[in-house]
């Protein structure tokens, strides 16, 4: 593993290795054990979109591993003034030991990696959110002590989260079912993978069908970053795709996961969100442990 660019690049074994280290790092932190495998190392963090969790968990994670993180945004770096990504990659590679990027096109992440001589980590693109899905799989595994054989259901937009969950879930031997409104299906590459993965995959426009017997229910916002202008149209299209207590009744007393930020009362009711808040904030916490594992494996 040289970079973490998208979920598709990881094998089931890679995922297991990352989750095992993440569990160990979480335990170490709980026990107050300090290890500094990234002492003297620096991570550059490029943010072309907003963030709370990703920024804070990467920055805190680097600090805890003995290293340092630098925040770069479009507003105050030359990236925002059009410096080519291949030049940014070569410059940051001369100073830093790793680069995290949150951006729009997956091609930007891939190009950064192509020109970088240090590991690149995707902190969210329009196509994928691998760091989030590693934390998600870690949280589900903590609860059930396994992943294989569980039914993962995703209700909502076929976005970066849907793409990464389909691939991550299937690679871990889970049965995956997705409910999206017509016209908002996951990306072609994820669907192609799902159809050829040989696992148990269902795509439907019926949320109840997708949720039936599910062990874990995922959802995400209806309009992702960059789609703000489509908000009104999307609210209409996704009207029947709310994770509410009616939907939860058909699941196998499922746990609920949301990558956050959530729009309470849209993709998930306040009632379901609060009933599952511990699981959802465990998931947010696990971003820290999962990313520390990724950084240690890539950068130590
Ligand atoms: N889930 C997630 O990536 O959160 P942020 O957008 O706050 O980083
Ligand atoms: N799908 C959301 C995830 C945010 C963490 C977005 O891309 O905005």
206 noted as active-site residue: no
Task: Report whether the peptide linkage leading into residue 261 is cis, meaning its omega lies within 30 degrees of zero.
Answer: yes
Specify the residue with its C-alpha closest to ligand 1, atom 7.
52
Determine the pLDDT at residue 197: 87
**Distance from first CA to last CA of the chain, Å, rounded?**
13
CA of 173 to the centre of ligand 2 (A): 25
Of 160, 162, 238, 267, the one to substitute when testing ligand 2's pocket (max ligand atoms within 8 A of C-beta) is: 160
Determine the pLDDT at residue 17: 98
Measured from the CA of 54, which atom of ligand 1 is nearest?
8
Q: Is residue 190 part of a domain?
A: yes
Determine the pLDDT at residue 199: 85
Tens digit of each residue's pLDDT (9 = 90 or more) over 264-276: 999 999 999 999 9
Beta bridge partners of 47: 73, 102
Report the CATH number that the domain containing residue 39 is assigned in CATH. Answer: 3.40.50.1370
Measured CA angle at 168 (ends 96, 239), to 5 deg: 110
Domain identity same for 199 and 238: yes
CA of 287 to the centre of ligand 1 (A): 9
Asked if pLDDT for residue 5 goes beyond 90, the answer is: yes
Determine the pLDDT at residue 84: 96
Q: Is residue 239 part of a domain?
A: yes
Domain identity same for 56 and 30: yes
Q: Is residue 166 part of a domain?
A: yes
Q: Are 19 and 137 in contact (CB under 8 A)?
A: yes
Determine the pLDDT at residue 187: 98
Domain identity same for 20 and 118: yes
127 noted as active-site residue: no
CA of 224 to the centre of ligand 2 (A): 5
When pLDDT is cut at 50, 70 and 90, the band that residue 74 belongs to is: confident
Asked if pLDDT for residue 186 goes beyond 90, the answer is: yes
Q: Is residue 167 part of a domain?
A: yes
How many CA atoms, within 13 angstroms, populate the side-chain half-sphere of residue 87?
7
Domain identity same for 138 and 275: yes
Domain identity same for 97 and 155: no
Domain count, the chain: 2
Asked if pLDDT for residue 153 goes beyond 90, the answer is: yes
Determine the pLDDT at residue 158: 98
Domain identity same for 195 and 209: yes
The residue range of the domain holding 106 is 7-129+287-299
Domain identity same for 184 and 252: yes
Determine the pLDDT at residue 142: 98
When pLDDT is cut at 50, 70 and 90, the band that residue 60 belongs to is: very high
102 noted as active-site residue: yes
Domain identity same for 142 and 89: no
Domain identity same for 177 and 267: yes
When pLDDT is cut at 50, 70 and 90, the band that residue 75 belongs to is: confident
Q: Please report, rounded to a whole number, the percentage of residues in the chain having pLDDT higher than 70.
A: 100
Ligand 2 residue neighbourhood (C-beta within 6 Å): 124, 159-161, 220-221, 224-225, 259
Q: Is residue 1 part of a domain?
A: no
Ligand nearest to the CA of 52: 1
23 noted as active-site residue: no
Tens digit of each residue's pLDDT (9 = 90 or more) over 118-134: 999 999 999 999 999 99
Domain identity same for 141 and 117: no
Domain identity same for 34 and 117: yes
Q: Is residue 2 part of a domain?
A: no
Averaged pLDDT score across all residues of the chain: 97
Determine the pLDDT at residue 22: 98
287 noted as active-site residue: yes
Domain identity same for 72 and 120: yes
Asked if pLDDT for residue 72 goes beyond 90, the answer is: yes
């Amino acid at each position: 593993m040289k970079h973490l660019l998208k979920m598709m690049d990881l094998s089931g074994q890679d995922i297991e290795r990352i989750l095992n280290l993440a569990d160990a790092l979480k335990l170490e932190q709980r026990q107050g054990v300090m290890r500094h495998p990234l002492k003297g190392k620096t991570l550059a963090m490029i943010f072309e979109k907003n963030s709370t969790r990703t920024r804070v968990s990467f920055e805190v994670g680097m600090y805890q591993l003995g290293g340092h993180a630098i925040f770069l945004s479009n507003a105050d770096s030359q990236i925002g003034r059009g410096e080519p990504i291949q030049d940014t990659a070569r410059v940051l590679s001369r100073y830093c030991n790793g680069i995290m990027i949150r951006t729009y096109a997956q091609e930007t992440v891939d190009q950064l990696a192509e020109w970088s001589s240090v590991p690149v980590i995707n902190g969210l693109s329009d196509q994928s959110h691998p760091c989030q899905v590693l934390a998600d799989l870690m949280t589900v595994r903590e609860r059930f002590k396994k992943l294989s054989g569980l039914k993962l259901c995703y209700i909502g937009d076929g976005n970066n989260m849907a793409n990464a969950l389909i691939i991550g879930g299937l690679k871990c031997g889970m049965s995956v079912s997705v409910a999206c409104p017509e016209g908002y299906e996951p990306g072609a590459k994820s669907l192609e993978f799902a159809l050829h993965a040989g696992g148990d995959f269902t795509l439907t426009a019926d949320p109840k069908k997708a949720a039936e017997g599910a062990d874990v229910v995922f959802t995400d916002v209806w309009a992702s970053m960059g789609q703000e202008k489509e908000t009104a149209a999307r609210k209409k299209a996704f009207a029947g795709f709310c994770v509410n207590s009616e939907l939860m009744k058909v699941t196998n007393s499922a746990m609920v996961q949301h990558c956050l930020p959530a729009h309470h009362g849209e993709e998930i009711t306040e009632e379901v969100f609060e009933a599952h808040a511990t699981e959802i904030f465990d998931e947010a916490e696990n971003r820290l442990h999962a990313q520390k594992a990724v950084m240690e494996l890539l950068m130590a």
